[in-house]
Structure 1
């Protein structure tokens, strides 16, 4: 039996140039909580889910970790990210690639560790129609990257076996 491939794309840093907007948004959120952290330390963690990212940063800085602070940071990051949204652009060829997959009737989906509140900005930059393309965000799964839940859910939404899926992303 031959398995037809399905393509599962990460979003930030893979299809859209948004990594530095995330770095700046996290810096803004951390500053609002009086948590001093160098930009380079934030940058090296971009690509993790927001919750894992926040837990690791707070653990590194030995700042008290509690659910309320994590939620405040998440909300502050999302608000700051919206302010930086005007600088977000699709990476060269991203729209053309996705259009080609669609025209060729090759199944594809987006699986991002971000929540829809920030992913929506990136999806708009790509002109992705949410009614036509499956988009799995951190809101849809129990665990985000590095766990495989996002990609398993995306393959399931495509009704494609995960064994035939090709995951395309910018992080290990």
Structure 2
């Protein structure tokens, strides 16, 4: 089990999909349906590694990486419509939720996700997670999304906490990059467990 010194931090920030809740299987099913509908190559690993990014941004990176063209608006529409039939399958990730429960009412905590606010809200509400957090940041609140730092910096500002005093929980390389770009340490949640601690390089060289 990963041992963490939480006393070093004044606030916690959790990504949602794949970190706080096990939603990636449903998201990936929706992506597969949307890609197959347009006869595109289905590379689920490519999509999965970009968890935390908004769907339109993933679509742009998909087009660039594979050198394909498609009806982006239709792809996004199909992906979202398919997920709308699956989102109630989403469950808590116990290891991450346990940390949130431990510090509820003791530290300010935020959710910082690339999901749209409506999607974030319905999932957190359905799993009785909303009340744990003092701040909720979705794709709707920032213009630049992960791996840019804006989501986490916005959360820190809303919690009146310096970025270097925040600890981020993420599940993807892009999420880790976003945390470090924000000047924050990061815990990677892999296979439902708190798996790896990654100190911000700025802190190691300070």
Q: 1:83 maps to what in 2?
A: 85
* Residue of structure 2 in register with 1:138 after alignment: 139
Deviation of the 1:36 alpha carbon = 3.4
The alpha carbon displacement at 1:107 in A equals 0.7
2:36 aligns with 31
Structure-2 residue corresponding to 1:48: 53
Contact 2:17/2:51, CA 8 A, preserved across alignment: no
Report the Cα distance in structure 2 between the residues aligned to 1:73 and 1:121, rounded to whole angstroms: 22
Q: Which has the higher strand share?
A: 2
2:21 is aligned to 16
Deviations 1:76-118 (A, max 9, x none): 2222112112321001244443232123x20110000121233
What is the rounded CA distance, in whole Å, between the counterparts of 1:150 and 1:44 in structure 2?
18
Aligned mates of 1:99, 1:34 — CA distance in 2: 44
- Equivalent position SS for 1:20: helix
Give yes or no for contact 2:53–2:114 (8 Å, CA) kept in 1. yes
Please report how far the alpha carbon of residue 4 of structure 1 lies from its aligned counterpart in structure 2 after TM superposition.
5.6
Of structures 1 and 2, the one scoring higher in RCO (CA 8 A, sep 6+) is 1
Structure 1 alignment gaps of length 5 or more: none
Mark the runs of 5 or more structure 2 residues left unpaired by the alignment.
1-7, 174-206
Superposed CA deviations along residues 47-82 of structure 1, whole A, max 9, x for unmatched, are: 4332331111112332226xxx33332232222112
In the TM superposition, residue 161 of structure 1 has moved relative to its aligned partner by 1.6
Aligned positions, number: 166
Preserved CA contact (<8 Å) 1:90 1:125: no
Is the Cα–Cα contact under 8 Å of residues 15 and 52 in structure 2 kept in the other structure? no
**SS at the partner of 1:143?**
coil
* Residues 24 and 45 (structure 1), Cα distance of their counterparts in 2 relative to 1, 3 Å cut: same
Range with bigger deviation, 94-103 or 122-131: 122-131
Task: Determine helix, strand or coil for the equivalent of 1:166.
Answer: strand
Q: Tell me what 2:76 maps to.
A: 74
- 3-state DSSP class of the match of 2:168? strand
Structure 1, 123-132 or 11-20: larger mean CA deviation:
123-132
> For the Cα contact (< 8 Å) 1:141–1:149, is it kept in 2?
yes
State the Cα distance separating 1:165 from its structure 2 match: 1.1
